[in-house]
Amino acid sequence: MTNASLTEADCRAIDRSDMAALIAAWPEQVRAQQAALDERPWPRRAAPSLLALGGMGGSAIAGDLVFALAAPRLPFPTAVVRDYRWPAAVAPGALAVLSSYSGGTEETLSLLGEAEARGVDLVGLTTGGPLGERLSARKAAWRGLPAGLPPRAALGYSVVSLARLLEALGDPGEGVEAWQEALEVLDQGTASLGPAAPEAGNPAKALARAVVGRAVVVHGAYGVTAAVARRWKGQVNENAKTPAFEAALPEMNHNEIVGWQALPHVHAHCAAVFLADPGDDPRVARRREVTADILEEEGIATHVVLARGKSPLARALSLVQMGDWTSYYLAVLAGVDPTPIAKIDRLKRALQAPASTEPGRNAR
């Protein structure tokens, strides 16, 4: 840890690429993409046998969130595939959504080629690039995202786009009132969680202060908050350059909870964050309480983050927003610019280069 202050001035000094402005733009992203899709909606079509989204990182997480929110309503299954190949169920009758912000993600382009070979219907979500070109050549519907952003900072655009795609497939959607409430909650969060809000009354700054210097394990519950936990994990990784992991109740109670036993010297270097939604099953809520007690007894600092809002949509997005700001302040406390992702860039360069022939390298 190299920085002790979270004043607005200190945040700006470290956040040289202005990630704060991108996080603060969450509500405007929602409004802008709603307007864009009002003008150019997805074409309506029959419900597929399976809706499968292929993407990676920030281009895939919207699928987790939107599909989890819609799961209680959808008459067809959904899947998010983070790989080079589809499962066998992605076959004619399914609909494949290719999501790549840049349009050049190699895994997503591989999925595109495989879907084409299988005769699977396609749609896409991208700023353009090779993905946009290939979808256009096939006359497949795709909707654009504003260019020039880190993919993880375009989530508002992607969430709206996928929610509207579901509606084009017959989903009644979250409803106008839920979206209005979500925007109100996000607007409130921008004011109360942003850098201008003093640390004394800023929950995101307080949580970052409490967990800084530790690996963070974010716990959700199967479904929506598990998807949000995955978003938190990625944001802490990319923004704060800090190890983070995700776990879901009740599953982790059947395995991972026992893992916090044999290495007590590690526990002081970890923090557990539990995402709590008032809509959680009462048994899950009870499991969360007992699990936190057990981890506390093992010397692991635990923290509970409560969702804000009445609708499931507002509550989910409030937790996403809280995670984005918390990861931002963790970056500031660590003295690292949240935006650059040097190790990912290095990995991509290495993958573009010929494989090493040095003995022992790349061996399996």
Give me the active site residues, please: 238, 254, 348
Print burial letters for 275-297: b (CB count within 10 Å at least 16), e (below 16): bbbebbeeebeebbeebbebbee
For β-strands 78-81 and 51-54, DSSP reports them as: parallel
The answer to whether the bond into 250 is cis (omega within 30° of 0) is yes
Q: What are the backbone angles phi and psi of residue 62, rounded to the nearest 5°?
A: -60, -35
290: left (phi over 0), alpha (psi -120 to 50) or beta: alpha
Cα maximum dimension of the chain:
62
* Cα dist from 91 to 9, 96, 140, whole Å: 53, 9, 17
What whole-number distance in Å separates Cα of residue 64 and Cα of residue 69?
A: 9
Backbone angles phi, psi at 195, to 5 degrees: -60, -25
Distances (CA, A) of 154 to 28, 90, 214: 11, 27, 27
Q: In what order do the strands lie in the sheet with 301-306?
A: 244-249, 215-221, 270-276, 301-306
Contact 157, 146 (CB under 8 A): yes
Calpha distance 201→188 (Å, rounded): 13
